[in-house]
């Protein structure tokens, strides 16, 4: 199974302004209000930490702020000295944004339900998006489907931050649609607490040069959208269970995600996987998972820093 274009669209919607992968307890109180005395309007302020921005792969926070101000989604914003970003919204902007955010999530979730590339049959978030019950077909559900939990961590955590909730943890339950029993459950706080460490390339069994990739830009579709078709070859000695690339599209400043979850054996070339793309898009991050002695090893590679992290 490959992560479909619909999931990429869902993630893009989730990252409409910035975004995060789950809750960060250190920053759960980064929500405050300020009063603009001259106009007597109570503005909404939301501050997202540097960690959130890095996880959302927002490489140029100021450019993101400028775009949101121009589109009148926010009133103003600033990049703080600690690398965090603060957005300022009027009450009307905040109300409209929360409404559109919820509608976008509902539409994206329905697209996931309609997508035959996964086992999801029904998605039931609670009112504040702190819990998602995902009903799946037990006959087609696999551990690969559990990767979709990240999309719901993004949805719930992002919504709760902008809603002003102090606790932004999100729980995702995958439920057998026949028996109504929970197959698998996770929460975003544990994702944030994963044991990630920097590692030298000489200590890795699989390096990025062992997984050469190719991206071919396609002609614009009927809507004018441009996609790239990607493949990679596994030149390592280990099965590759997951492979992802991301980079910023120059003309839109949006992040493009290429992701493939088909297991690719040594010597094999992956099936095609696609994302929004245009010539000149520099890949800035590569993530992959390889299997060694039945153990899954996840690796993040920062292209600019030429550095590896593993967990």
Cα gap 190→184, rounded to integer Å: 14
Closest by CA to 219, choosing from 274, 282, 278, is 278
User: Would you say 270 and 233 are in contact if contact means Cβ atoms under 8 Å apart?
Assistant: yes
At residue 123, does pLDDT exceed 80? yes
**Polymer length in residues for the chain:** 311
Better-scored residue on pLDDT, 92 or 51: 92
| Residue 19 buriedness (CB in 10 A; 0-12 / 13-18 / 19+) | buried
- The percentage of residues in the chain with a pLDDT greater than 70, rounded to a whole number, is 81
Q: What mean pLDDT, rounded, does the chain reach?
A: 81
> Positive or negative CA dihedral for 195, 57, 258, 10?
positive
pTM, to two decimals: 0.56
Cα gap 192→25, rounded to integer Å: 9
User: Would you say 236 and 210 are in contact if contact means Cβ atoms under 8 Å apart?
Assistant: yes
Better-scored residue on pLDDT, 308 or 60: 308
Q: What is the mean pLDDT of residues 196-200?
A: 66
Tell how strand 171-176 and strand 131-136 pair up. parallel
Cα gap 146→279, rounded to integer Å: 32
Q: For the chain, how far is it from start to end, CA to CA, in angstroms?
A: 23
> Positive or negative CA dihedral for 259, 263, 265, 267?
negative
User: Would you say 129 and 161 are in contact if contact means Cβ atoms under 8 Å apart?
Assistant: no
Neighbours of 132 (CB within 10 A): 22
CB within 8 A of 37, min separation 6: which ones? Answer: none
Read off the pLDDT of residues 289-299 as tens digits, 9 standing for 90 and up: 999 887 888 89
Strand partners, 227: 276
- 196 band by pLDDT with thresholds 50, 70 and 90: low
- 164 band by pLDDT with thresholds 50, 70 and 90: confident
Cα gap 26→187, rounded to integer Å: 16
Q: What is the mean pLDDT of residues 122-130?
A: 93
Tokens encoding 294:
């039945």
Q: Phi and psi of 310, rounded to 5°?
A: -135, 150
Cα gap 11→175, rounded to integer Å: 22
pLDDT of residue 5: 40
- 151 band by pLDDT with thresholds 50, 70 and 90: confident
For residue 105, the SS3 value is helix
Read off the pLDDT of residues 78-118 as tens digits, 9 standing for 90 and up: 999 988 888 899 999 988 888 888 888 888 889 889 888 78
Read off the pLDDT of residues 170-193 as tens digits, 9 standing for 90 and up: 999 999 999 999 998 888 877 655
């Amino acid at each position: 199974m490959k992560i479909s274009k619909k999931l990429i669209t869902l993630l893009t919607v989730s990252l409409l302004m910035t975004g995060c992968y789950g809750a960060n307890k250190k920053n759960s109180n980064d929500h405050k209000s300020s009063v603009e005395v001259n106009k007597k309007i109570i503005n909404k302020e939301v501050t997202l930490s540097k960690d959130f921005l890095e996880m959302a792969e927002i490489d140029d926070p100021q450019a993101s702020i400028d775009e949101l101000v121009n589109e009148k989604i926010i009133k103003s914003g600033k990049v703080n000295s600690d690398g965090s970003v603060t957005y300022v919204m009027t009450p009307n902007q905040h109300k409209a944004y929360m409404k559109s955010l919820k509608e976008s999530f509902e539409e994206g979730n329905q697209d996931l339900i309609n997508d035959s590339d996964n086992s999801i049959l029904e998605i039931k978030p609670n009112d504040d998006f702190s819990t998602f019950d995902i009903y799946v077909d037990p006959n087609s559900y696999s551990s690969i489907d559990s990767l979709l939990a990240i999309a719901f961590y993004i949805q719930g955590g992002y919504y709760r931050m902008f809603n002003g909730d102090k606790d932004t943890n999100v729980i995702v339950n995958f439920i057998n649609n026949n028996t109504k029993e929970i197959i698998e459950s996770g929460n975003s706080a544990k994702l944030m607490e994963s044991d990630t460490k920097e590692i030298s390339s000489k200590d890795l069994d699989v390096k990025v040069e062992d997984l050469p990739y190719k991206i071919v830009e396609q002609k614009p579709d009927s809507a004018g959208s441009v996609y790239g078709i990607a493949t990679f070859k596994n030149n390592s000695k280990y099965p590759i269970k997951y492979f992802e690339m991301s980079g910023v599209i120059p003309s839109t400043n949006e992040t493009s995600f290429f992701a493939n979850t088909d297991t690719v054996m040594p010597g094999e070339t992956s099936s095609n996987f696609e994302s929004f793309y245009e010539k000149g898009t520099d890949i800035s991050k590569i993530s992959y998972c390889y299997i060694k002695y039945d153990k899954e090893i996840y690796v993040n590679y920062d292209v600019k820093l030429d550095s590896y992290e593993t967990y």
